[in-house]
């Protein structure tokens, strides 16, 4: 059993996130991809983020039509910061025979040496580092030790220039966001008045 873990703030989830998850699933033959909205991301401390329940609900409606995508409340129900090592250890207990693949962007992988208990994180999972076309993969080799590089598998996803930050800005300023994220998520944003300031 191969399980992809897709962690993030997802504030909001958009087509870029969905495309990354699907490319990783196909390229690595993942049996399923588990989405893990973070309750309290350590790298976003002090920044304003939407309520966890809203972000969880948006991922639910965005992924509902995909039979290999599922959404977990694991990080939402854990007290304190959402550390990757805690999530990986919990998955190891629940799925002892599974091969875990943590899906993230190549830029985030460049920061892995700053992650909580990073040496254990690298041993607990393989990493799918998603890059954009033209990304210089040599950057990974100049920053990370060889033992880490052996556990990291870069893949290139089609470039989709969408960010959650830009979507929030557009909503706040009354600009359209249709076709940047699933229609179900756009409707959810409207219904609950998210990002309107």
Q: What is the pLDDT of residues 103-155, one digit of tens each?
A: 998 888 889 999 999 999 999 999 999 887 777 778 888 999 999 999 999 99
Report, as an integer, the average pLDDT of 157-185. Answer: 94
- Taking phi over 0 as left and psi of -120 to 50 as alpha, with beta for the rest, 4 belongs to beta
Report, as an integer, the average pLDDT of 8-25. Answer: 95
Confidence band for 88, pLDDT divided at 50, 70 and 90: very high
Contacts of 15 (CB under 8 A, 6+ apart): 160, 162, 180, 181, 182
> For position 133, what pLDDT does the model report?
72
For the cut 70, the answer to whether the pLDDT of residue 44 exceeds it is: no
Radius of gyration of the chain from its Cα atoms, rounded to whole angstroms:
16
Contacts of 44 (CB under 8 A, 6+ apart): 9, 38
Domains plus CATH for the chain? 2-161 (3.40.50.620)
CA distance 61 to 40: 21
> For position 41, what pLDDT does the model report?
64
């Amino acid at each position: 059993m191969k399980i992809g873990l897709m962690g993030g703030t997802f504030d909001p989830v958009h087509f870029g996130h969905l495309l990354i998850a699907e490319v990783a699933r196909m390229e690595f033959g993942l049996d399923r991809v588990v989405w893990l909205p973070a309750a309290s991301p350590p790298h976003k401390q002090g920044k304003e983020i939407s309520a966890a329940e809203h972000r969880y609900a948006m991922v639910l409606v965005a992924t509902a039509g995909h039979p290999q995508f599922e959404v977990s409340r694991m990080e939402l129900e854990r007290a304190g910061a959402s550390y990757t090592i805690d999530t990986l250890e919990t998955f190891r207990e629940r799925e002892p025979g599974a091969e875990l693949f943590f899906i993230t962007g190549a830029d985030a992988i460049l920061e892995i040496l700053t992650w909580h208990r990073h040496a254990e994180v690298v041993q607990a999972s393989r990493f799918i580092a998603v890059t954009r076309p033209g990304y210089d993969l040599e950057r990974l080799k100049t920053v990370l030790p060889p033992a880490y590089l052996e556990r990291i598998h870069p893949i290139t996803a089609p470039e989709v220039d969408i960010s959650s930050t830009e979507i929030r800005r557009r909503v706040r300023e009354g600009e359209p966001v249709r076709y940047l994220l699933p229609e179900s998520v756009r409707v959810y944003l409207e219904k609950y008045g998210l990002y309107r300031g």
